Structure 1
């Protein structure tokens, strides 16, 4: 087998290192965000099931709170999977913040946070776009766990 004497014996890692570090840094950020959002979803869901029922009697508002917590928890896991896909990670983070956040606020005080009504569907669109970014992004981009 002939070898090319002009090619280096070791790959040029200097040119690849900044991109790898950037991907690892954003992957770690998305990983931590997904974990924190997941923990918050469990806490907010428990609050909705126990503490909120003492203050709000409208079953529709309680259902909205439950939906917000459920979507936040599901998409927190999706964010963990997408931690190395910056497009999907950004869309999931924005979508959870807008969708679940606006539902939480509207449940607590509909009149005060009425302006957030249009934000909820925008958050939903971001969540759907995050799934599409996973579907059509680089294969396997979301399957590598970030290194710390």
Structure 2
């Protein structure tokens, strides 16, 4: 069941990343400065990359076992904190949110390492 949720969340977040990327490119173009547009672009890039990663974890978990799903949930949390804090920073102008972003980045790194470790263990 968890694999199904990861596949669903990966696909849903892929669509959301494309939507938010387009919003940033078109809807924010005349509303924020170039530096803020770059921050938005980084958020949507990482959002999309990790939506694909979550899909990948869902597929791999079907093949190698449910032990991999923890990596998917860590990646999901990291994506939410990393990209989410950057989106809110750009929309709100609250610069302090930049201090939250690295926590999401650390979670993304941990998620990838967890995936690597889980795959290593799954292959014995």
Q: TM-score, length-normalised on structure 2?
A: 0.85
1:129 match: 110
Q: Matched residue of 1:54: which SS?
A: coil
| 1:118 corresponds to which of 92, 99, 110 | 99
**Residue 79 of structure 2 corresponds to which residue in structure 1?**
96
Is residue 29 of structure 2 the alignment partner of residue 53 of structure 1? Answer: yes
Larger helix proportion, structure 1 or 2? 2
RMSD (Å), alpha carbons: 1.5
- Cα distance in structure 1, aligned partners of 2:97 and 2:118: 31
- Summarize the alignment of residues 26-105 of structure 1 with structure 2, pairs less than 5 Å apart: 26-56=2-32, 58-83=33-58, 84=61, 85-105=68-88
Count of aligned positions: 114
| Structure 1 unmatched ranges of 5 or more | 1-24, 142-148
How far apart, CA to CA, are the structure 1 residues paired with 2:45 and 2:121? 26
Aligned residue among 106, 109, 129 for 2:89 = 106
TM-score, length-scaled by structure 1: 0.72
Whole-Å Cα distance in 2 between the matches of residues 94 and 104 of structure 1? 15
Runs ≥4 in structure 1, deviation > 4 angstroms? none
Larger radius of gyration between Structure 1 and Structure 2:
1
State the 1:54 CA deviation.
2.2
- 5+ unaligned residues in a row in structure 2: which ranges? 62-67
